[in-house]
Homo-oligomer: A and B are copies of this chain.
Amino acid sequence: MVVSLKDVAERAGVSAKTVSNVVNGYRHVTPATRRRVQQAIDELGYRPNLTARHLRAGRTGIIALALPELNNPYFAELAEEVIDYAAGLGCTVLLDPTHGRRDQEVLFVRGVRAGLIDGLILSPIELENEDLAERGSEAPLVLLGEREYDAPYDHIAIDNVAAARTATRHLLELGRRRIAFLGARHGRTRQPAHLRLRGWREELAAAGAAAGDDLVATTDGYTRADGARAMARLLDSGAAPDAVFCYNDLVAIGAMRTLGERGLRVPEDVAVVGFDDIEDGRYCAAALTTIAPHKRAIARAAVDALLARLDPARTPPPDSSRRIRPGFALVPRESTLGRP
């Protein structure tokens, strides 16, 4: 005899929806109800077959989330938000680290997992416009992050130029005048200038402060090691910055490590601002001032946008891509303000 969800619901004395919530691991079930449902499941030997269920509906119930790397806490924190929110909507999330490699990103947008997933959320690093133009896959795709594309896909990103201007203004208001930018991307291909670099430049120009190339340090990636090396190069170059605005918190943490090794004090000698508000930054010797993107809002917007494209009743015309801009906030801490 095949035991159905309805059988379990009857035995447990709850609705089929509640059984479904328990089976799908949602959090919005009281422990007592969860125990009762689990007991009924055990007694009846009920085994939900999620794959079969979704396949009957022409969907797998799985969405892919392709991020550069889980080792970057920003992406790990964002992934947790996406997984939690998607679970509440009945979706399972498949995490795919791309390592920021163009060939991996191309594979994903071309539908390497076609048949397994209903749609894809991608945070690209190296992907180019032509990769999207030549995509060939019809699975819904939502883009995340700073890279800009001329392609008909929903794109979720905070206003990176405004955020960078906010960070730079904070340093200007503290009286800093030689504010360096750490983490301009240095790649084989000619990439568009980073929006964060543009924001830094615009704000400095508006204030009449120095914004020369001698104050811009490129990096190969956005890791702590990249930040440490770039800071060392900047100091060795004689640029003599009194502040650095870093592409992200990891780069900032690496930069602070180098400053410490050189005997320079943060923020007295060099003030430091990061970007991402990862937890690590709060526990540095000088807690890190940073730009905090609203990660939960980003995660929700991405999942909502993808699911909207999957819902035949709600699907917008295919060429109507949307730009969604979740909020951000400056979080001033000791790396610019000093210890109270």
Contact = CB atoms under 8 A, between A and B. Distances in A.
Contacts of A96: 25, 83
Given A25-B107, A73-B71, A107-B25, A55 B47 contact: no
Contact of A115 (B51, B77, B97): B51
Interface in A90-127: 92-97, 103-104, 106-108, 110-116
A112 B38 CA distance: 10
A76 B95 CA distance: 11
A269 interface: no
Contact of A95 (B95, B106, B113, B284): B95
B83 A76 contact: no
Interface string A255-272: 011001000000000000
B76 A114 contact: no
Interface string A164-187: 000000000000000000000000
Interface of A: 22-25, 31, 34, 38, 41-42, 45, 47-52, 55, 60, 69-71, 73, 76-77, 79-80, 83-84, 92-97, 103-104, 106-108, 110-116, 134, 136, 223-224, 228, 253-254, 256-257, 260, 279-280, 282-285, 287
